[in-house]
Chain A
Amino acid sequence: MMNGTWKVDARDGKLAMAHIYVAFVALALGGLAGLLQVLVRSGKFELPAGISYYTILTTHGVLLGLVLTTFFIIGFQFAAVSRTAGTLSDRVRFWGWVGFWLMTIGTAITAFYILIGEASVLYTFYAPLQAHAGFYIGLTLVVVGSWISGFAMFAHYAKWKKAHPGQVSPLLTFMSVVNMILWLICSLGVAATVLFQFIPWSLGYVDRINVLVSRTLFWYFGHPLVYFWLLPAYMIWYAIIPKIIGGKMFSDSLARMSFILFLILSIPVGFHHQLVEPGIDPVWKYLQVVLTFMVVIPSLMTAFSMFATFEMYGRSKGATGLFGWLRKLPWGDARFFAPFVGMLFFIPAGAGGLVNASHQLNQVVHNTIWVTGHFHLTLATTVVLTFFGAAYWLIPHLTGRVMTKAMNRLAIIQTIVWSIGMIFMSSAMHFAGLLGAPRRSAFSTYGDAPQALEWIPYQIAQAVGGTILFIGIILVLIIVTNLAFFAPKGETEFPVAEVAEQAERTPLVFENWTLWIGIAVVLILIAYTVPFIDMIQNAPPGSKGFKLW
């Protein structure tokens, strides 16, 4: 049934690698920006030559939050659909390259305006701070490029379905399609605000902007964005890790069901980023809080599936006792170790997320550096370590090389370095946030206020952690460069797990896209229609643009 090619076609590999190169260049530059930020916030270091902290901060957010993630994800997914649903057609590959170049050119334009200081508006670009129009136009190209790549993947999937009527599609292809549908639906929000509000306003065609509408459209996009980052990590956990450890997938249907639940439940939830803002009735905030928490269900399913896979494998190797199976796992294999550590970090990360999204508790931590600590666990540890773990087999697979034992050992060390750095940095951020330290702020003692002086030691700890993390970035860049250009030639497997024998046949209902997209749209309409109309009907006078940096 699974008759996809075992090796990704070289031409498809080139397309995937192009994305991955950009992703790791973004990691290098964005990581450097991060290092400068933690140093500034320690209070012991000032940026030279009048460089603004906020320019660096914008660079860090755009490069790591938007560029690293989107490029790695699209590159990985092109490789995954090519591996599991067969070599891309020339047309699909052509549009993949169009998408790649649009995203790359867009990134370059946006980066240019950030670096010349015309766009220190952070990656959330809240109006009425007004960047140069080029910043918004560049971002638009990134999004449009990603859409084109998404449609290229849909076309590839449709071709597979046509050639295999009545069959369940390969899991990794199915998951890539879900992730791109999610991305498409949510990025309509940011596209709407950028095209209809920010670009005309920054070009001077209109004078004023409706701030609350722009923020609401942004957060309609902003939360599913984090699931767009997370789902590829889940793809690796569900469909690849079991193969790496030598086991089988626990259940194909449950994996698909959890992806469909993420598709439905991760969009109508943006208000939990807007809990403490005016102009939105708290009833609607609460409704979206409830919807936000529904993603706990697929998250619990994922946790169960992963550990069930691990335990089944361990026991098949003769493990006994309650936790004996843990000892059978391949701890020395970086392809397993890095994502596994990522999974462990997801436990405190998820718990912190529950706090953030709680209707009332949010007020305690909103816009404090606690939140930064939170998403350095989710994105910068769980997701990123999983991506690193995937790069350790994906890059040599695509470049026709093999990872040496020495590089594998370095990758294990990299994971440990990353964990230590993150424990320092993220814990310090969480504690300082509870004391009240704000996020997104340069060093300040607020007039030597005793309350502010209390959290300065934590900022020193952040700098220690951030510096260790930067060493982690250097290590991963060494490994990636080695795998791409210097590792010995050879064959590396693109691991794809098979389903355990006792698992049931997967029903076709998961590919009833009209049904699932329909439910997603209905939930979005329920969650947003009334408050959105309220915002427009009761809108205050709009805002002119400000350039305050």
Chain B
Amino acid sequence: MHMHKYEKIWLFFGIGSLFVFLAVLGVGAFAQGTQPPSCLTTIDPEKVDQTPPFDKPGLVKTGDNEYQLNIVASAFAYTPNQVEIPKGAKVTINVATKDVIHGFQIVGTNVNMMVEPGYVSSYTQTFDKVGEYVILCNEYCGAGHHLMTSKVKVVEQ
């Protein structure tokens, strides 16, 4: 089928930059390991409170400057509802819900994931800046959705 010369040039550069863009995303994902949160671990949504590590929610030190932060989400709160993290700590955040779908977003960071009944959501984040960060639910979960919040305080070691 005939295409106008200008259209060929237009599509050549358009599609060319598209593939460069996709290559950048692909290298980021597979060579540098920057993947979106995609934890495959499952959990019984009715037994979250009895299933480790969610039976004892909170911050756990797992290594030199490495931590695990386990959080239980339920309508309309996170447990614990406040947590202190030492500056520079590398924290693996695990979240599970006891009821409906919730969001888990730490404002001002890249931590942003869906929390769905039956699954553990997980993401590793290093907290480099001292300050107070709001955690909020960004997926509609019911009448008190906009009140569902918690906070992270990053403090000097």
Please, how many angstroms separate the alpha-carbon atoms of A277 and B39 in the complex? 8
Q: Report yes or no: B10 in contact with A363, Cβ–Cβ below 8 A.
A: no
Point out the residues of chain B lying under 8 angstroms from A297, CB to CB: 11, 14-15, 18
* Given known A-B contacts A300-B11, A451-B133, A543-B45, A279 and B116 have beta carbons under 8 A apart: yes
Which of A215, A254, A289, A440 contacts B3, CB < 8 Å? A254
Report if A322 contacts B (CB, 8 A). Answer: no
Report if B120 contacts A (CB, 8 A). Answer: yes
User: How many residues of chain A have a CB within 8 Å of chain B?
Assistant: 72
Q: Report yes or no: A279 in contact with B101, Cβ–Cβ below 8 A.
A: no
Point out the residues of chain A lying under 8 angstroms from B31, CB to CB: none
Point out the residues of chain A lying under 8 angstroms from B35, CB to CB: 282, 359-360
Point out the residues of chain A lying under 8 angstroms from B118, CB to CB: 211-212, 279, 539-543
Point out the residues of chain A lying under 8 angstroms from B49, CB to CB: none
Among listed A63-71, A85-93, A333-341, A442-450, interface-contacting one? A442-450
Most buried by A among B76, B115, B119, B151: B119
Report if A485 contacts B (CB, 8 A). Answer: no
Please, how many angstroms separate the alpha-carbon atoms of A362 and B28 in the complex? 13
Residue interface mask A449-479, B partner, CB < 8 A = 1 = 1111000000000000000000000000000
Please, how many angstroms separate the alpha-carbon atoms of A300 and B43 in the complex? 45
Residue interface mask B30-49, A partner, CB < 8 A = 1 = 10001111111111111000
Please, how many angstroms separate the alpha-carbon atoms of A279 and B39 in the complex? 6
Q: Report yes or no: A122 in contact with B140, Cβ–Cβ below 8 A.
A: yes
Point out the residues of chain A lying under 8 angstroms from B136, CB to CB: 436, 438, 446, 452
Report if B93 contacts A (CB, 8 A). Answer: no
Chain B residue, CB-CB nearest to A286: B29
Q: Report yes or no: A278 in contact with B113, Cβ–Cβ below 8 A.
A: yes
Interface of A is mostly: loop
* Given known A-B contacts A277-B116, A278-B40, A282-B36, A546 and B100 have beta carbons under 8 A apart: yes
Q: Report yes or no: B107 in contact with A129, Cβ–Cβ below 8 A.
A: no
Please, how many angstroms separate the alpha-carbon atoms of A54 and B76 in the complex? 15
Please, how many angstroms separate the alpha-carbon atoms of A120 and B140 in the complex? 10
Q: Report yes or no: B119 in contact with A451, Cβ–Cβ below 8 A.
A: no
Most buried by A among B43, B110, B141, B142: B142
Please, how many angstroms separate the alpha-carbon atoms of A278 and B38 in the complex? 4
Report if A144 contacts B (CB, 8 A). Answer: no
- Which A residues have a C-beta under 8 Å from some C-beta of B? 52, 54, 57, 120, 122, 126-129, 211-212, 215, 251, 253-254, 257, 274-282, 285-286, 289-290, 293, 296-297, 300-301, 304, 308, 354, 358-360, 362-364, 366-368, 435-436, 438-444, 446-447, 449-452, 504, 507, 538-543, 546, 548-549
Closest 10 CB pairs of A and B: A548-B142, A540-B118, A436-B107, A540-B42, A438-B138, A278-B119, A444-B146, A277-B114, A367-B138, A441-B146
21 A-B residue pairs with CB within 8 Å: A126-B140, A128-B117, A211-B116, A212-B118, A251-B4, A278-B40, A278-B120, A282-B35, A282-B36, A285-B38, A290-B22, A293-B21, A297-B11, A359-B25, A367-B112, A438-B136, A441-B140, A442-B146, A444-B147, A447-B149, A451-B132
